[in-house]
Amino acid sequence: MKDYKYLYHINSPKDLKQLKEEQLPELCAEIRTFLLDELSRNPGHLGAGLGVVELTVALHYVFDLPDDKLVWDVGHQAYPHKILTGRRDNFHSLRKWGGLSGFTHPAESEYDAFVAGHASNSISAALGLAVADRLTGKDNQVVAVIGDGAMTGGLAFEGLNNACTHPNNLLIVLNDNNMSIDESTGALSRYLVDIITSKTYNKVRHEGYKTLKNLNLIDEKRRSSILRFNNSLKALLSDRHNLFEGFSIRYIGPVDGHDVQGLVRVLRDIKDFDGPKLLHIQTVKGKGYAPAEESAVVWHAPGCFDVETGQIKANVPLPDDPMKFQDVFGHTLVELADMDERVVGVTPAMPSGCSMTYLMKKYPDRSFDVGIAEGHAVTFSAGMALQGAIPFCNVYSSFMQRGYDQVIHDAAMQSAPVIFCLDRGGLVGEDGMTHHGVYDIPYLRCIPGLTLMSPYDEEELRMMMYTAYKHHEEGPFVIRYPRGTGSCPHWRTEFRELPLGKAEIKRQGSDIVFVSYGPLGSEVSKVVSNLVEKGYDPGHVNLRFVKPLDEELLLGLTKTYKHVITIEDGALMGGMGSAVLELFSTHGAIVPVTRWGIPDTFVKQGRVDIQHEHCGLDVRSMETKALEILQNARTN
């Protein structure tokens, strides 16, 4: 155990406040050492936390948490916050089953004011907290910390636009590191790089405000007039207008986000400013660890690594190991782009995660990273599709929830031929409940005109992409697949079309039949093999399409088998099993049906195999349940 002079004596912000300001830089160094030591052995998000150490210490030093509220945008910035709020000794359990979440959640700590997993919600959430405090007569402070990557999200601007509508004391801290996960894109990012805030202007405004306040000349009625005067003063003393003051939000900055004592002074100066204000700090993602500073994308979440050498301990795949679904998508997309110049790729800020980087390297003019803006990604893709392009729009399943209206209104209603590739379908592991892609089957299969499919393995993903490409004019397609590797190492076979809406019989049987949807089918195949060895005769259907269903095949199962079991890595309510039951009900087919999938609960973080076991979707659990059904059928 390392010998920390200050860190091991801090179990709450009250302990932190006992330190002198001149001791804070050494504490920041200890927090960085602690983060590197822990995350080198227990993988998590590294770069973001290293970049906000000084900010986190300063916020906890100046404000009175948990009475004051701190809302983090995208909780992977919040690791130092967890360390300072009583979770240091449990930090080894981060992102593990039964341990600490990798993001913030009020159920985990009273210091976590709001759930943080998806980007751009902090300003709206913090504004709600601040306004509610005013309505109930509380005089608490509310702070939102948002990174410039998250500022590209439309929800952030909706919050900014509403911030001056109601009396509040909101402080927005803009953590400007010119990064989110991949490099930040768009005009806002360039604006934050170019913005010039005159020192003369800041000095005049700050001194003027103090004078007016001391003379009791500032009240709520005069605030708007003073803000307009500030904006005019800014225009006179600086060479460009300020975006945030256009929202009538007082702007302070930019300031050095790695000067902890300077941050403490600034936060003390501005914490009692009435009305919404924005503090613009400039930081370096990965600060304090040279490899992370030099390659922020790689060190966003690097996995295990050697702290001394900076060597990432990546698992080297063997020649016969399956490839990740993400890489199969990326390579196949390049092949389709080679075949047809109309093929383009769109991603909302996840080119590395979804492997669209392969297309970006070969065809940069046909690759579009639109930033953290899922709704825009969908509508942008629909617009291109209606003008003759063939867009493959890759969005993580959990993030597609943010573009749902656009899928209905802008894609499906006008049959825009967009091919949506939903990455991270199903349970995703350590990122936990905010990132599970388990709701897409229910929320998409009810939309008219969509074709929904999910591959059994990597080779079938390739064929589904080709099939969607060949039939793109028939309307929007959705291809759902999970994070990580599957079961097929030799996936790169010749393209062939799959018959639309047709399932595949993996094994013909006579007692019970498993109907699986997606890559979980490979685990079902193991269950089937085990049951055959025990003398049973199960069938297995790889459904492939949940919309349209293979009605003829499914209805035929009711005449052949004694029991139908549906298996999906998605929500049971409204999922694939529900679709099968609806079909049987419509046609009066009478057969016992058992549905296996994700129950009506938010599944916590942990390894995917543990999550599957928790939900009864591992091989042993499925085999045990199947044997019970078979034995009951024989006794009856």
Q: Is the pLDDT of residue 191 over 80?
A: no
Cα separation of 403 and 278, whole Å? Answer: 28
Cα separation of 91 and 101, whole Å? Answer: 10
pLDDT category of residue 197 using cuts at 50, 70 and 90: very low
363 annotated ligand binder: no
Q: Which residue has the tokens 């018959």?
A: 499
What is the per-residue pLDDT for 117? 86
Q: Which of 69, 223, 402, 604 is catalytic?
A: 402
Q: Is the pLDDT of residue 211 over 90?
A: no
206 annotated ligand binder: no
Give SS3 for 607: coil
Q: Which of 30, 38, 54, 374 is catalytic?
A: 374
What is the per-residue pLDDT for 192? 47
Contact 412, 447 (CB under 8 A): yes
Structure tokens at 540: 């297995």
What is the per-residue pLDDT for 195? 45
Which residues lie below 8 Å from residue 48, measured CB to CB, with a gap of 6+? 74, 76, 77, 79, 147, 285, 300
**Mean pLDDT value of segment 312-320:** 77
Contact 331, 358 (CB under 8 A): yes
Cα separation of 398 and 154, whole Å? Answer: 17
Using alpha carbons, list the distances in angstroms from residue 449 to 20, 269, 389, 391, 517.
Answer: 64, 57, 19, 17, 20
Pairing of strands 170-176, 545-547: unpaired
Q: Which of 87, 88, 277, 285 is catalytic?
A: 285
What is the per-residue pLDDT for 199? 46
What is the per-residue pLDDT for 633? 76
374 annotated ligand binder: yes
All domains of the chain in start order, with CATH: 7-214+236-294 (3.40.50.970), 325-480 (3.40.50.970), 504-633 (3.40.50.920)
Q: Is the pLDDT of residue 604 over 60?
A: yes
What is the per-residue pLDDT for 383? 98
Higher pLDDT, 75 or 107: 107
Number of H helices, E strands in the chain: 25, 17
**DSSP-assigned letters across all residues of 525-573:** HHHHHHHHHTT---EEEE--EEES--HHHHHHHHHH-SEEEEEEEEEST
Q: Is the pLDDT of residue 224 over 60?
A: no
pLDDT category of residue 193 using cuts at 50, 70 and 90: very low
Which H, E and C letters describe 40-96, residue by residue?
HHCCCCCHHHHHCHHHHHHHHHHCCCCCCEEEECCHHHHHHHHHHHHHHHHHHHCCC
Say how far residue 154 (Cα) sits from the centre of its chain: 15
148 annotated ligand binder: yes
**Mean pLDDT value of segment 348-357:** 94
**Mean pLDDT value of segment 377-383:** 98
What is the per-residue pLDDT for 496? 96
Cα separation of 477 and 418, whole Å? Answer: 6
What is the per-residue pLDDT for 500? 98
What is the per-residue pLDDT for 634? 73
593-598: strand order across its sheet: 504-507, 539-542, 512-517, 563-571, 593-598
Cα separation of 534 and 452, whole Å? Answer: 35
Residue 473 designated active-site: no
User: Using N-to-C axis directions, what is the helix angle for 53-62 and 260-270, rounded to 10°?
Assistant: 40
Q: Is the pLDDT of residue 615 over 80?
A: yes
pTM of the model: 0.87
486 annotated ligand binder: no
Q: What is the pLDDT of residues 394-404, one digit of tens each?
A: 999 999 999 99
Q: Is the pLDDT of residue 44 over 60?
A: yes
156 annotated ligand binder: no
What is the per-residue pLDDT for 152? 82
Cα separation of 143 and 276, whole Å? Answer: 10
* Extended strands (E) in 117-272: 142-147, 170-176, 250-256
Q: Which residue has the tokens 């005109």?
A: 449
- Residues of the chain with pLDDT > 70, as a percent, come to 89
Closest CA to 145 of 246, 74, 244, 66: 74
Residue 544 designated active-site: no
Backbone angles phi, psi at 414, to 5 degrees: -110, 20
Residue 374 designated active-site: yes
Neighbouring-strand partners of residue 539: 513
Using alpha carbons, list the distances in angstroms from residue 487 to 352, 360, 456.
Answer: 22, 27, 9
What is the per-residue pLDDT for 156? 92
What is the per-residue pLDDT for 290? 95
Cα separation of 81 and 215, whole Å? Answer: 38
Mean pLDDT lowest among 294-298, 351-355, 626-630: 294-298
Structure tokens at 291: 């490899």
Which residues lie below 8 Å from residue 318, measured CB to CB, with a gap of 6+? none
The enclosing H or E element of 396 equals: strand 390-396
Structure tokens at 95: 């992102």
Neighbouring-strand partners of residue 547: 452
Contact 89, 97 (CB under 8 A): no
Q: Is the pLDDT of residue 201 over 70?
A: no
